[in-house]
Amino acid sequence: MSSEGLLKEMQSLGEKFLLKLQKLPKADPVEIVAFCVVLLFIVTVLLLMIIACSCCCYSCCGCNERPDHRRRKIQVRPISH
pLDDT value for 2: 80
pLDDT tens, 7-18?
999 999 989 988
Res. 1: pLDDT tops 80: no
Helix runs in the chain, H state only: 3-23, 29-60
Predicted pLDDT of residue 48: 93
Tell me the per-residue pLDDT of 16-66, one tens digit each, with 9 for 90 and over. 988 988 988 888 999 889 989 998 999 999 999 999 888 877 666 655 555
**Statement: residue 75 has pLDDT above 70:** yes
